[in-house]
Structure 1
Amino acid sequence: MTTALLTHPDCLKHVTPDGHPERVARLDAVLSALEGKDLLRIEAPLGDEAHIERVHPRAHIDHVKASEPDAGQVPLDADTWMSPGSYAAALRGVGGAVRAVDMVLGGEVQNAFSACRPPGHHAETAKTMGFCLFGNVAIAAKHALEHHGLSRVAVVDFDVHHGNGTQDLLESDPRALFISSHQYPLWPGTGHPSETGVDNNVLNVPLAPGTDGRQIRAEMEAKILPRLAEFAPELLLVSAGFDAHRADPLAGLNWETEDFAWITEQLCDVAEAHCDGRLVSCLEGGYDLAALAEATARHVDILIARGQAV
Structure 2
Amino acid sequence: MSVILYSHDSAAAHATPAGHPEQVARHGAVMAGLEGLALERRAAPVAEDAEVLRCHPAAYLQELRAAVPSDGVRQIDADTYLSPGGLEPALRAVGGACAAVDAVLAGEAGAAFVAMRPPGHHAETATAMGFCLFGTVAIAAKRALDHHGLDRVAVLDFDVHHGNGTQDLLWDEGRALFVSSHQMPLYPGTGAASETGAQGQVLNLPLPPGSDGALAQAEWAGALRRMVAFAPQLVIVSAGFDAHRDDPLAQLDWEDADFAALTRAICAAAADCGAAVVSCLEGGYDLAALERSVRAHVTVLLEATE
Aligned to 2:298: 300
Distance in 1 (CA, whole Å) between partners of 2:205 and 2:303 is 28
Distance in 2 (CA, whole Å) between partners of 1:210 and 1:125 is 32
| Letter paired with 1:32 | A
| Letter paired with 1:3 | V
Aligned to 1:151: 151
| Letter paired with 2:270 | A
Q: How far apart are residue 59 of structure 1 and its match?
A: 0.8
For each residue in 1:81-106, what CA deviation from the matched residue of structure 2 results, as whole angstroms up to 9, or x when unmatched? 00011111111111010000000001
| Letter paired with 1:293 | E
How do 1:196-275 residues align onto structure 2 when only pairs under 5 Å count? 196-221=196-221, 223-275=222-274
Q: Secondary structure at the match of 1:236?
A: strand
Aligned to 1:281: 279
For each residue in 1:276-300, what CA deviation from the matched residue of structure 2 results, as whole angstroms up to 9, or x when unmatched? 4x00000000000000000000000
How do 1:165-204 residues align onto structure 2 when only pairs under 5 Å count? 165-204=165-204
TM-score (norm 2): 0.99
How do 1:52-67 residues align onto structure 2 when only pairs under 5 Å count? 52-67=52-67
How do 1:102-141 residues align onto structure 2 when only pairs under 5 Å count? 102-141=102-141
For each residue in 1:139-172, what CA deviation from the matched residue of structure 2 results, as whole angstroms up to 9, or x when unmatched? 0000000000000000000000000000000110
Aligned to 1:21: 21
Q: How far apart are residue 18 of structure 1 and its match?
A: 0.5
Distance in 2 (CA, whole Å) between partners of 1:303 and 1:110 is 9
Q: Secondary structure at the match of 2:200?
A: coil
Distance in 2 (CA, whole Å) between partners of 1:145 and 1:244 is 30
Distance in 2 (CA, whole Å) between partners of 1:230 and 1:209 is 30
| Letter paired with 2:302 | I
* Structure 1: runs of 5 or more not aligned: none
Q: How far apart are residue 32 of structure 1 and its match?
A: 1.1
Distance in 1 (CA, whole Å) between partners of 2:229 and 2:206 is 20
Distance in 1 (CA, whole Å) between partners of 2:95 and 2:107 is 18
Q: Which runs of 4+ in 1 moved over 2 A?
A: none
Distance in 1 (CA, whole Å) between partners of 2:239 and 2:36 is 21
Distance in 2 (CA, whole Å) between partners of 1:227 and 1:271 is 12
Q: How far apart are residue 307 of structure 1 and its match?
A: 1.1
Q: How far apart are residue 33 of structure 1 and its match?
A: 1.2
Q: Secondary structure at the match of 1:265?
A: helix
Contact 1:159 / 1:242 at 8 angstroms: preserved in 2?
yes
| Letter paired with 1:298 | A
Aligned to 1:69: 69
Distance in 2 (CA, whole Å) between partners of 1:161 and 1:75 is 21
* Structure 2: runs of 5 or more not aligned: none
Q: How far apart are residue 275 of structure 1 and its match?
A: 2.9
Q: Secondary structure at the match of 1:281?
A: strand
Distance in 2 (CA, whole Å) between partners of 1:66 and 1:28 is 28
| Letter paired with 1:59 | A
Distance in 2 (CA, whole Å) between partners of 1:219 and 1:166 is 20
Aligned to 1:160: 160
TM-score (norm 1): 0.98
Distance in 1 (CA, whole Å) between partners of 2:114 and 2:54 is 20
Contact 1:236 / 1:275 at 8 angstroms: preserved in 2?
no
Distance in 2 (CA, whole Å) between partners of 1:227 and 1:244 is 23
